[in-house]
A and B are shown apart, each in its own frame.
Chain A
């Protein structure tokens, strides 16, 4: 696999999220957006986080950056250890030193996350001026280099332009340049290609892979697109209704999903295959955050659900070998999915 080269640095933990819980206080009640989420990011790896909208994947990422708006958001528990510092209890000045410097983030919508009244150059240079104490001339030079690196043509021209003068792909590159200019140890990419066309998406993914190789950063790749995950990631965290439901190495996940939700997700994506079997679809919808089902939150949509699942919420069970799953019946999932694959029909 593509990750072989980085194996030297792997195994060392860069970021550790422990029992993180985040709640939003809304008019309708308390929405527990993130419920007891734990995962780690190792040095030099790309960790994928998948889940549907409302699964808490973005809120977890925002917590790492301390960007959850408070109020209405509130971290109700847990720790986020980055280089043995707890990001959740650090004073804001410390956080400001880390943000954009050691950890940086690429947001989904480049138009709303770039500042429309500053030139691209100024925005790319800003982290350098703030964190690295560079002079303006040097910052400009490095910004130009970075723009060239991310594939922005004629950077001398672009550096003077405003975000609205650029196309979607170019804006996303500006965001990436901004995020990478300080050579962060951790890059959080929240749906970095969702707003882009396939051909541009391919360019951006290729770019991120190359930058990871060259700068040896770790990446948290948040997306709902399993195709992107398959292409980019070493390990995957699957989230559902605010909880981690499965953690796995990438190959294991696609070959043998243990959680019924993961299995359903994989089966419900149309693939480019000559035969076009009827798509499997997970019945029902994501539960209402204000009326979470008793027991396992996936039970109402689960085809394997038993009485136990509806009664008692399962814990995240560590299966060894870097795998963990939150399901009472994960043993069945494996078996049943092997059966359905052979049967060719997954309904």
Chain B
């Protein structure tokens, strides 16, 4: 991955080929920690030196436990947060260096769908106002055209026109999320970051919204960064998957590689932890012990070593880089690349006694 990044950087301002549509390298986002003083600066390292790319037209799934920095990464990516360090190349431009007006133009091309539809829609605006606002901000069309487009969007996301002059509190969770999706679509973006876009919805509504997102992707040739803690949904929707742990991407690759041959011990444990709908399948379960350490003071070396059952001396000292396991599939583990990775004997199983 880092090699790719270097090559990309060397290629300079040349318009990136389709493969390198969005290129993130060395991205960091630190927040001041509680109790941090000017004499003793302490930071929550929410995103710490992350490099990856997003390809046009794909859905990249981003999974990890709460607090691992996946939402921060999504927000930093479209500069809702100013990155602490690193470079985000989008279509050849570094987003970090863009000024306010340029960034505003850029924002038309990238949108965000938030987790909680109730909290992300203005309760004092009607659906009509909510959907027309992006056009007003970006000065698109006349008032009448805006309304037409808003109606088109409503229709596209499957909302009856009855709701056009309604307020968010008059709608159900699923309907509100549809408004959120319609709003994100308004300016015909290329990239949409979906941050837990379906997590707050009931199972039957979840399926409706997932199907809608997939249809829209095809229709408007969208690229998604799909952030979720629900591994089954990410499996369903993604082309590639990135696994995050404590501010770092520990594994990234095509979705079938990640789900069938996870290389990093953390990904293995995550995938084993998914409750399967099938009772007859007697899986051996890798049970992680303990909790995620604090991102203020992450463990030295490999950040996962405190919970890893394969941990060796090197893991406590050196941070493993992302290494290629197979084509297009990278993992950051000292033991990956050799045969140990695929050896099931290495996976120490269910020990609830611990």
Contacts and interface: CB of A to CB of B under 8 A. Distances in A.
B338 interface: no
Contact of A274 (B233, B237, B256, B269): B256
Contacts of B174: 285
Interface stretch (A15-23, A62-70, A197-205, A323-331): A197-205
A52 B203 CA distance: 7
Contact of A282 (B204, B259, B350): B204
A224 B203 contact: yes
B120 interface: no
B231 A198 contact: yes
B254 to A, nearest CB: 12
A184 interface: no
B202 A199 contact: no
Given A268-B203, A272-B232, A285-B174, A206 B277 contact: no
A224 B235 CA distance: 19
Nearest to B215: A278
A89 interface: no
A202 B273 contact: yes
Interface residues of A, number: 48
A251 B352 contact: no
B276 interface: yes
Interface in B249-296: 256, 259-260, 269-279, 285, 287-292
Contacts of B272: 202
Nearest to B158: A283
Interface residues of B, number: 46
A225 B204 contact: no
Contacts of A200: 65, 291
Contacts of B161: none
Given A225-B275, A230-B279, A151 B204 contact: no
A279 B211 contact: yes
Contacts of B232: 227, 269-272
A198 B273 contact: yes
A264 B233 contact: no
Interface string A62-104: 0000000000000000000000000000000000000000000
Given A151-B352, A206-B287, A197 B229 contact: yes
Nearest to B66: A197
Contact of A202 (B206, B260, B285): B285
Contacts of A199: 65, 269-270, 273, 288
A202 B236 contact: no
Contacts of A203: 287-289, 352
B233 A278 contact: no
Contacts of B292: 167, 197
B172 A198 contact: no
Contacts of B278: 230, 254, 271
A294 interface: no
B165 interface: no
Interface of B: 65-66, 172, 174-175, 202-208, 210-211, 214, 229, 231-233, 235-237, 256, 259-260, 269-279, 285, 287-292, 350, 352, 354
